[in-house]
Amino acid sequence: MTVKTGFLSRLTKWARLHSPWVLHFNTGACNGCDIEILDALTPRYDIERFGIKLKATPRHADILLCSGPVNNQSAKRLRRIYEQMPSPKFVLAIGTCACSGGVFRGCYNIHAGVDTEIPVDAYIAGCPVKPEAIIDAVAKLIAKLEAA
Amino acid sequence: MTEDTALALFEKDFQKFNGTLKRWNARQVELTVDAKHLLDVMNVAITDEVHYKFLSTIVGVDLGDKLAVKYLLAHKSEMLVVTVQVPYDGPELPSITVVLPAALLYEREIHDLLGIVFTGHPNLARLVLPDDWKDGVFPLRKNCVMEKDDAGKPTGACLINQA
Amino acid sequence: MSLVNISVGPQHPALKEPINFTFTLDGENIVSADARIGYAHRGIEKGMERGNYVQGMFLTERICGICSHAHSMAYVLGVEKLMQLEVPKRAQYIRALLGELERLHSHLLWIGVAAHEVGFDTIFMYSWKDREVVMDLLEELSGNRVNYAVNIFGGVKRDYTKEQLDNVRAKVLSLKSRMKYYIDMATHEPSFIARFRDVGMLSHNKAIELGAVGPTARGSGVPVDHRVTDTFLIYDELKVNMIVEEGCDAMARYDVHARELLEAVKIIEQILDQIPEGPISVKYPRKVGPGESITRYEAPRGEDVHYLMADGSDKPFRYKVRAPTLANIPAVLEMFKNSHMADIPVIIASIDPCISCTDRAVLLADVYTGKPAMSWKELVAYSNRYYAENHGIKG
């Protein structure tokens, strides 16, 4: 990412750091990680208090949360969604399956991880990941943005 | 309706289909019939006397030299398994959707994964496999192996093992 | 007016599951609908033939991340049938306990999702907050929030102390008043009723004909519940009431879910009252069969059918899974007919669809020093080294 110093770019960076909007896409997961992502939004974890908001459309999202080993059918959709997101964009691979394919590695129809299709910025291991881990990952990603 | 009376009706009716009955356990019975009698069997099974009106699912099995299709019909806790066998090349079966509409998706799935053509099915379009899946490759057949790239990693596709 | 086709999914604001529907619309009314699944097709059935029976257990648990215990139960029961194992009573009670806790969390989840789809996010947040109580219990009992891994052939892996079981009772009973509140909400809240009543009609006859299962069928007055009509585990020793509603609409399905919550609490109380002392597992053979077995398990979403063909080796010859949502898709396509387009999310949610390790987040660059990123290979090597050095596990 190129560093700009103009007022507008500083403003967008500030906004992005304080309120990153996330998009969730199930790339063939068992639903375990997907439910934990939703869990992170509900009162116990309440990720929204950090300004993190789940958006339903890729065109509004900064961070793409992918769960599940990518299969042949969802791979095309995944690429399309990634292309629709505005730059700069970040991808989190959520769960062991999204990292490496997990237990499904080597099954037909499986691509073994999100990074076979699109670049991934952070990997969260776990089957399923705990909501705390998702919050931790997003926080680390923000710290990375801040440093950039 | 207890199972015994339903089965008694079955036994009476299925003499003419040359079927063989095999009891798995107290509540599960398998009936093997010829494919040409499949629809007749289904028509009897869903009558009010026999009452196996609920189609739990359809299972397709590759037995190595031929394919078998098992229709799992249920009534309360009892289950009747109707098994038919089809040859490996050009497998074809009549669709039972006219009798049991619940079979719509199950038949499409088996068409996808085992390549059995159900004649009379309203829409045998692809259901579970990706759109760009190679025609004629049926992943649940035993001769189907995973394709590997040069590094030995699976590519996500299947190949037919000719050997 | 000419007919218009629109496509909804697999990634869509109103759809949380990766499924694609094609609707044919006449104005705002739906004429017909078709479904395309496969966005989560992972080839598990072929994968089952690859590994041995114990490895299969981990795969069946990951068929679904919401009702994972149901799938692993159906698998274990089917294999045990062919192994001819006599499972100790205490193990069966523990299995049923986890099954009912799972039903609680799944139904609370569903009530939240259904409320979210009608725009009532307060209930969504309330029910998911209550769900965390159940999730905590499951984590305490099994060590993981989802994918509990308590089953093993011949029994269960974990035994519980009296204090742990008392804690389950106290926590579950504390949820009772909340469940009554959800039932109350359905009968009194006008905005709820307006969005649910007469939406997604599925007549009694159609439900039977299309093979609907679980709460979808019970909401249309079809009495199917394997805990009552079948005998598996120890459900014949418990008093289980079947919840059936005659409304045939989304409201009836909501009622079924909400009332089943209370019923599940009653079942859990009975389990805790009756759980006997004793061993929790027996030894199991490595090879299975030859033979065939069919298991039907009442998952939160309905009948789960698993078919196993064993050939006497240590690997399954053929394994077939039919999850409840697949059985309900013909029913939901029927519900769409003559419905309003705006009701699509409510109808999809009303069938409770489910199309589908510990907390470590690893970032591939040091956040503080900005050192060069670690590649995936290095990361794997690092984790293998870490476990070899610290825990003596060879990766």
Q: Which of A22-26, C64-68, C277-281, C353-357 has the lowest mean pLDDT?
A: C353-357
Residues C192/C118, Cβ–Cβ less than 8 Å = yes
A113 occurs within a structural domain:
yes
Instruction: Determine the longest span between alpha carbons in chain B, in angstroms.
Output: 61
* Annotated binding residue C357: yes
* Confidence check: pLDDT of C392 > 80: no
C1 touches chain A (CB under 8 A): no
Strand partners for B66: B87
A4 occurs within a structural domain:
no
Residue A39 sits in a domain of what CATH number? 3.40.50.12280
Looking at residue B91, its pLDDT comes to 87
The B residues from 36 to 75 touching C (CB cutoff 8 Å) are 53-57, 59-62, 70, 72, 74
How far is the C-alpha of B84 from the C-alpha of B72, rounded, in Å?
12
Looking at residue C273, its pLDDT comes to 92
Looking at residue C373, its pLDDT comes to 52
A5 occurs within a structural domain:
no
Residue C34: which H helix or E strand, with range?
Answer: strand C29-36
Looking at residue C368, its pLDDT comes to 41
Looking at residue C170, its pLDDT comes to 92
List the structure tokens of C199. Answer: 């939406």
Mean pLDDT (chain A, rounded): 85
Between strands B92-94 and C316-322, the pairing is unpaired
How far is the C-alpha of A19 from the C-alpha of A51, rounded, in Å?
4
Contact B76 C229 (CB under 8 A): yes
A83 occurs within a structural domain:
yes
Other residues' Cβ atoms within 10 Å of the Cβ of residue B65: 8
Looking at residue B71, its pLDDT comes to 92
* Confidence check: pLDDT of C300 > 80: yes
The gap from C-alpha C370 to its chain's centroid, in whole angstroms, comes to: 42
A1 occurs within a structural domain:
no
Neighbouring chains to B with at least 3 Cβ pairs closer than 8 Å: A, C
Q: What distances in angstroms separate CA C151 from CA A122, C82, C300, C302, one per listed residue?
A: 33, 16, 18, 20
What domain range is A104 assigned to?
10-147
Choose, out of B105, B145, B161, the residue to mutate when testing the contact with C (most C CBs < 10 Å).
B105
Domain with CATH 3.30.460.80 in chain B: 3-127
Contact C330 B102 (CB under 8 A): yes
Contact A34 C129 (CB under 8 A): no
Q: Which of C24-38, C56-70, C372-386 has the lowest mean pLDDT?
A: C372-386
The confidence band for C362, taking pLDDT boundaries of 50, 70 and 90, is: very low
Nearest-Cα distance to chain C for A91, in Å, is 11
Query: Which stretches of chain B score pLDDT less than 50?
Result: 1, 163
pLDDT tens figures, B90-109:
888 999 888 888 888 888 88
Q: Which of B12-16, C149-153, C271-275 has the lowest mean pLDDT?
A: B12-16
CATH superfamily ID and name for B3-127? NADH:ubiquinone oxidoreductase Nqo5 subunit (3.30.460.80)
Nearest-Cα distance to chain B for C154, in Å, is 20
The C residues from 15 to 44 touching A (CB cutoff 8 Å) are 16-18, 38-44
Looking at residue B11, its pLDDT comes to 66
Which residues in A lie closer than 8 A to residue C46 (C-beta atoms)? 107-108
- Scan for tokens 């009716």, then name that residue: B13
Which residues in C lie closer than 8 A to residue A129 (C-beta atoms)? 357, 359
Neighbouring chains to A with at least 3 Cβ pairs closer than 8 Å: B, C
pLDDT tens figures, A29-44:
888 888 888 888 888 8
The residue-averaged pLDDT of C167-175 equals 91
* Confidence check: pLDDT of C268 > 90: yes
The confidence band for C169, taking pLDDT boundaries of 50, 70 and 90, is: very high
pLDDT tens figures, C82-99:
888 889 999 999 999 999
The C residues from 355 to 394 touching A (CB cutoff 8 Å) are 355-365, 367-368, 370, 376, 379-380
Contact A42 C64 (CB under 8 A): no
Q: Which of A16-20, C15-19, C288-292, C365-369 has the lowest mean pLDDT?
A: C365-369
Domain count across chain A: 1
- Scan for tokens 């040409």, then name that residue: B36
Choose, out of C127, C134, C362, the residue to mutate when testing the contact with A (most A CBs < 10 Å).
C362
The confidence band for C367, taking pLDDT boundaries of 50, 70 and 90, is: very low
pLDDT tens figures, C109-148:
888 888 888 888 888 899 999 999 999 999 988 888 888 8
Concatenating the DSSP letter of every residue in C181-202 gives HHHHHHHH-HHHHHHHTT-S--
Mean pLDDT (chain C, rounded): 83
Residues C276/C290, Cβ–Cβ less than 8 Å = no
Q: Which of A73, A129, A143 sits opposite C359 (nearest CB)?
A: A129
Q: Which of B24, B61, B76 sits opposite C318 (nearest CB)?
A: B61
Share of chain C above pLDDT 90, in %: 15
pTM: 0.87
Nearest to B145 by CA among A111, A107, C40: A107
Phi-psi sector, A103: left (phi>0), alpha (psi -120 to 50), beta? alpha
Q: Which of B133, B139, B146 sits opposite A106 (nearest CB)?
A: B146
Which residues in A lie closer than 8 A to residue C363 (C-beta atoms)? 121-122, 137, 140-141, 144
Position with higher pLDDT, C320 vs B154: C320
